[in-house]
Amino acid sequence: TQLLEQSPQFLSIQEGENLTVYCNSSSVFSSLQWYRQEPGEGPVLLVTVVTGGEVKKLKRLTFQFGDARKDSSLHITAAQPGDTGLYLCALLQGAQKLVFGQGTRLTINP
């Protein structure tokens, strides 16, 4: 059983559309991180959310941490081709073990 369930696994949309990616767990977690990985590169940290109900904005990206701290979402407004990549949520299991969701492979078509 996956500790973190991400959905959808694949998403292909047109430039200018909005989208939401979800990350869910059956367990409560203290914090959650979102990463984006582009081909040929390692994942790059986008945000860390810590407080239940927290909302963080990063330009056109909005990250939300659920009130019960068991889920999180990433919303992209007016998607652009540069947003294409693999989006990964991750949480800390134990002291320093980072566990990743399966990832959402996003393609934005011009």
Which residues here bind another protein, judged by CB under 8 A?
Answer: 31, 33, 40-45, 48-50, 88, 96-103, 105
Q: What is the DSSP letter of 44?
A: E
103, 7 Cβ separation under 8 angstroms? no
C-beta of 42: minimal distance to another protein in Å?
A: 3
C-beta of 46: minimal distance to another protein in Å?
A: 9
C-beta of 68: minimal distance to another protein in Å?
A: 19
Closer to another protein at the Cβ: 68 or 95?
A: 95
Closer to another protein at the Cβ: 59 or 97?
A: 97
Q: How far apart are CA 33 and CA 64, in angstroms?
A: 11
59, 19 Cβ separation under 8 angstroms? no
Dihedrals phi, psi of 83, to nearest 5 degrees: -80, -10
Mapped onto helix, strand or coil, the DSSP state of residue 16 is coil
Closer to another protein at the Cβ: 78 or 98?
A: 98
